[in-house]
């Protein structure tokens, strides 16, 4: 046993022995006039003065030893508590592992399902976008094609009729009148195809001009009276022709500009331009 521990044991034993003497005083010679703890302490100090002095001196001399003993004891206790805590944490972690794996599995499954849903939605949006783009592209292409056809038919018919009414009667032929009637019928068909793309003002302008060309049929063909180039009727017809042809060409130019800006959207228009 270490000296410090031996001295400590001796001091405690001495105090305990004196206390026992106090309790059993009639039999072991402790003064009988002591009837309370205060008197016992006074008697203890008077009889154990040298002992307490020695204990105090030893405590002062071995104070570093006491500190070391207390520190070592605390360190051992802390290590024990730390080890116990680690064991409890390990047991707790072992119990949580299955739960965490289950939660992880459920989360992974939900994440995969969400990914599949997002992919499906993205594909649907893409398909709808492609469909809208296809419809819009085809709409512009059809519009462009029909305006090109009506422009060509109108230029041909206008030239035939407006020139025919100026010819002298002896220069006219039945074959020319037949060609004019066929051309005028084609213009009507082409305008009907473009009607869905025309505004109300554009329709009215086109109908008035076609009526003017139909009225000029009374001056076409053998034996019909010609119209003077200086006449107000012929000049009005020319003015209407210019207005209608400009309207159609402006629509074509607008679609051509759209095609040039987005060649991938309207490839047919880009190629035609």
Residues 6+ apart with CB under 8 A from 217: 161, 180, 181, 184
- Do residues 43 and 34 make contact, with C-beta atoms less than 8 angstroms apart? yes
At residue 36, does pLDDT exceed 70? no
Of 171 and 195, the structure prediction assigns the larger pLDDT to 195
pTM (whole model) above 0.85: no
At residue 156, does pLDDT exceed 90? yes
What is the per-residue pLDDT for 257? 82
Q: String of b and e for 165-193 (b: at least 16 CB within 10 Å)?
A: bebeeeebeeebbeebeebbebbeebbeb
Work out the pLDDT band at 35, boundaries 50, 70, 90: low
pLDDT per residue as tens digits for the range 115-149: 777 787 777 777 776 666 777 778 888 888 999 99
What is the per-residue pLDDT for 186? 93
Task: State how far Cα 146 lies from the chain centre.
Answer: 42
pLDDT per residue as tens digits for the range 257-271: 877 766 655 555 545
- Do residues 172 and 184 make contact, with C-beta atoms less than 8 angstroms apart? no
């Amino acid at each position: 046993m270490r000296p410090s521990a031996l001295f400590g044991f001796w001091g405690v034993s001495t105090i305990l022995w004196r206390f026992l003497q106090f309790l059993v005083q009639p039999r072991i010679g402790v003064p009988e006039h002591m009837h309370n703890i205060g008197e016992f302490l006074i008697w203890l100090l008077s009889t154990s003065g040298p002992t307490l002095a020695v204990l105090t001196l030893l405590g002062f001399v071995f104070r570093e030893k006491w500190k070391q003993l207390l520190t070592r004891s605390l360190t051992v206790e802390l290590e024990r508590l730390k080890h116990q805590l680690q064991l409890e944490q390990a047991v707790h972690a072992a119990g949580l592992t299955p739960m965490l794996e289950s939660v992880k599995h459920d989360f992974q499954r939900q994440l995969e399902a969400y990914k599949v849903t997002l992919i499906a939605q993205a594909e649907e949006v893409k398909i709808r976008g492609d469909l809208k783009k296809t419809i819009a592209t085809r709409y512009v292409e059809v519009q462009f094609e029909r305006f090109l056809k009506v422009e060509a038919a109108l230029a041909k018919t206008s030239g035939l009729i407006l020139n025919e009414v100026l010819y002298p009667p002896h220069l006219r032929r039945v074959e020319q009148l037949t060609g004019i009637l066929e051309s005028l019928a084609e213009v009507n068909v082409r305008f009907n195809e473009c009607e869905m793309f025309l505004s109300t003002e554009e329709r009215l302008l086109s109908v008035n001009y076609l009526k003017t060309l139909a009225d000029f049929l009374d001056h076409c063909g053998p034996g019909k009276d010609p119209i003077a180039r200086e006449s107000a009727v012929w000049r009005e017809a020319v003015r209407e022709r210019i207005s209608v042809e400009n309207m159609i060409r402006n629509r074509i130019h607008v679609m051509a500009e759209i095609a040039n800006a987005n060649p991938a959207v309207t490839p047919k228009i880009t190629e035609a331009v």
